A and B are shown apart, each in its own frame.
Chain A
Amino acid sequence: MLRYTLLRVLGAIPTLLLVIALTFLMVHAAPGGPFDDERVLSADVEQNIKQAYHLDEPLPKQFARYLTGLLQGDLGPSYRLRDYTVNELIGLTFPLSLSLGALAMALALGVGVAAGTIAALREGSYLDRWIMAFSMTGISIPVFVVAPILVLLFAVKLQWLPVGWSSTTGYSRLLLPVVTLALPQIAYIARLTRASMIEVLARDFVRTARAQGLGMFTVIRLHALKPALLPVLSYMGPAIAAILTGSVVVEEIFDIPGLGQAFIRGALNRDYTLVLGIVVFYATLIVSLNLIVDVLYGAIDPRVRYR
């Protein structure tokens, strides 16, 4: 188990380095400097600014400097928001995105697994077909189409929920963003659970348990759920990535001051260090969460470890 975990951790390092190198190069290959404003700076001032941000050094040296900073957890200063470092900006905006994502993930897992199990138990019934039709719709329709339609329906027409983030306080303003973010994941998880649950329910140990007189609910809870959830667990990595991507849209539409919004604003403002920092941060997050999923998978299913 330790060997398996170590191998996984070592495997994650080249991925991270690749992301960092790729994004760093892209940002530095950008035509025009980050300080090209309408205002023309005098040569001296420009020189000073470049020196302050170490932009006058050769590229490899800049990269080495950036990596050294990263190892100490320092993402450098923001180019546009002069009084902030990238770390401060992420610290300000990430907690909101995190709670949004975690709530959406919890909702997606709860509803998705329940719906998938029900569909599997009633395979072929009308209920099953409805759940599957709903889930195909959920997978196909992008977040940025679902979000405005939900807002139009529940906030503008029915006026049950607030339209924007800043217009109210309290938990009601979290409801629409979280549901929007969770919907496609509910759909996907329901499909995965249904498929693997149907397979597990056909296995001998389920029949034996049923023959011993255990109720269906007990059999699922004690015997069928764990093996049936393995595919769902391995989907967690992509799900987390999808929720992070989705949160960019959701934060933009609902005007939530989270990390996704900071990324888009930074991108549009050409705040290169901020954008670079957020990409590196997201990549680290996704890679480490994938790592945790992998290790968990190995812990639950010993067959994986020896591949």
Chain B
Amino acid sequence: MSLMRNRAISVSAGILSLTALFALVGPWVSPNDYLTTNFELPLLPPTMTAAHWFGTDDLGRDLFVRTMLGVRVTLLVAIVASLVSLVIGVTYGAVAGFVGGRVDAVMMRFVDTLYALPFIFIVILLMVVFERNFLLIFVAIGAVNWLDMARIVRGQTLSLREREFVQAARLTGVSTARIILRHIAPNLIGIVVVYVTLTIPQAILVESFLSFLGLGIQEPQTSLGALVNNGVKQMEGAAWALLIPACLLAAILMCFNFLGDGLRDYFDARHVK
């Protein structure tokens, strides 16, 4: 079973690294760029002519380079947003778990309250009210996704707090901030890595959802969600414009999910059935 899981981990990690590598190198190999329009060759199917390997979109822009750019943006947004949620979630969870008592109760009650919010609608509202700002996308997605992280970290901290080495540090007069930083945080790394891997696909989902609705990344920049949206408009004549970014997006999401699941089982023996 553990070998099976390890295979799932290595295969999905392999596919993801390959995709990332392609996204980095691809635009550099292709003679085309993402901006140049060519009204002589709109909606060209995938072909070797003029190196339009993924065809062109309705404005004659090269879809290969645009798709690679989309993968880049999607991965970048997802990773940065996950880091935002990581920082908020770990700090919040560690403080609640370590301080404990009434502070913990109030802090976790607040998290419970936030769980009930229709977040995606609030994010949409945020994007509309504050003029689709690239930076805001990171913040908005990160701010949505930190709740799970806070819960997990708090639970872990609660049990760590009672361990001997933390008690010893306390007795010798180490300050609370320093205990959290030097003794608690290093022991959280395993579980945090797992949940970051599981947060990334959620961040990708939110970003591509926003871009799909036209509220995320703005033209001429693009992301996989925006490309899918554009593909939907052309799908009756040019199925490739939809299918290529859609399949890439699905593959990336699946790989992250498999990777996260595999890592969780690997780190946490209780999940292995």
Q: Does B249 contact A (CB under 8 A)?
A: yes
Residue contact A145 to B117, C-beta cutoff 8 Å: no
A19, A149, A279 interface centre (most CB from chain B within 10 Å): A149
Q: Given A141-B250, A156-B235, A263-B121, are A148 and B128 neighbors across the interface (CB < 8 Å)?
A: no
Residue contact A140 to B257, C-beta cutoff 8 Å: yes
Complex contacts, A278 vs chain B, CB 8 Å? 121
Residue contact A244 to B118, C-beta cutoff 8 Å: yes
Interface SS of chain A = helix
A109 to B161, CA, bound (A): 42
Q: Given A15-B113, A140-B254, A140-B257, are A23 and B125 neighbors across the interface (CB < 8 Å)?
A: yes
Stretch of A25-33, A51-59, A170-178, A227-235 contacting B (4+ beta carbons < 8 Å): A25-33
Residue contact B209 to A144, C-beta cutoff 8 Å: yes
Mark out the residues of chain B between 206 and 244 whose CB falls within 8 Å of any chain A CB in the assembled complex: 208-209, 212-215, 225, 228-229, 231-232, 235-236, 239, 242-243
Residue contact B117 to A249, C-beta cutoff 8 Å: no
Contact among A139, A156, A290 for B257, CB-based, below 8 A: A139
Residue contact A145 to B128, C-beta cutoff 8 Å: no
Residue contact B121 to A279, C-beta cutoff 8 Å: yes
Residue contact B209 to A249, C-beta cutoff 8 Å: yes
Contact with B along A12-24 (1 / 0, CB 8 A): 1011001100110
Residue contact B129 to A152, C-beta cutoff 8 Å: no
Q: Chain A: how many interface residues by the 8 Å CB criterion?
A: 47
A23 to B228, CA, bound (A): 29
Query: Closest approach, in angstroms, between the C-beta of A304 and any C-beta of chain B?
Result: 15
Complex contacts, A80 vs chain B, CB 8 Å? none
Contact among A26, A139, A148 for B232, CB-based, below 8 A: A148
A144 to B162, CA, bound (A): 46
Q: Bin the interface of chain B by size.
A: 35 or more
Closest to A143 in B: B209
Stretch of A41-49, A63-71, A212-220, A280-288 contacting B (4+ beta carbons < 8 Å): A280-288
Contact with A along B108-126 (1 / 0, CB 8 A): 0000011011101110111
Complex contacts, B114 vs chain A, CB 8 Å? 18
Stretch of A81-89, A90-98, A264-272 contacting B (4+ beta carbons < 8 Å): A264-272
Contact among B117, B128, B235, B246 for A275, CB-based, below 8 A: B128
Q: Given A140-B250, A148-B231, A148-B246, are A286 and B113 neighbors across the interface (CB < 8 Å)?
A: no
Closest to A237 in B: B116
Closest to B256 in A: A140
Complex contacts, B209 vs chain A, CB 8 Å? 142, 144, 249
Residue contact B257 to A279, C-beta cutoff 8 Å: no
Query: Closest approach, in angstroms, between the C-beta of A218 and any C-beta of chain B?
Result: 27
Q: Does B258 contact A (CB under 8 A)?
A: yes
Q: Does A137 contact B (CB under 8 A)?
A: yes
Mark out the residues of chain A between 155 and 187 whose CB falls within 8 Å of any chain B CB in the assembled complex: 156
Closest to A156 in B: B236
Q: Given A148-B242, A249-B212, A286-B118, are A18 and B126 neighbors across the interface (CB < 8 Å)?
A: no
Residue contact B232 to A253, C-beta cutoff 8 Å: yes
Query: Closest approach, in angstroms, between the C-beta of A96 and any C-beta of chain B?
Result: 18
> Can you list 11 A-B contacts with CB-CB less than 8 angstroms, sorted by A residue number?
A19-B122, A26-B125, A27-B125, A30-B130, A136-B254, A140-B254, A148-B235, A152-B243, A244-B118, A252-B213, A263-B124
Q: A18-B114, A30-B130, A142-B205 are in contact. List 19 more A-B contacts (CB 8 A).
A: A137-B254, A139-B257, A142-B209, A142-B249, A142-B250, A148-B228, A148-B232, A152-B243, A245-B121, A248-B213, A249-B212, A253-B232, A267-B124, A275-B128, A278-B121, A283-B116, A283-B118, A286-B116, A286-B118
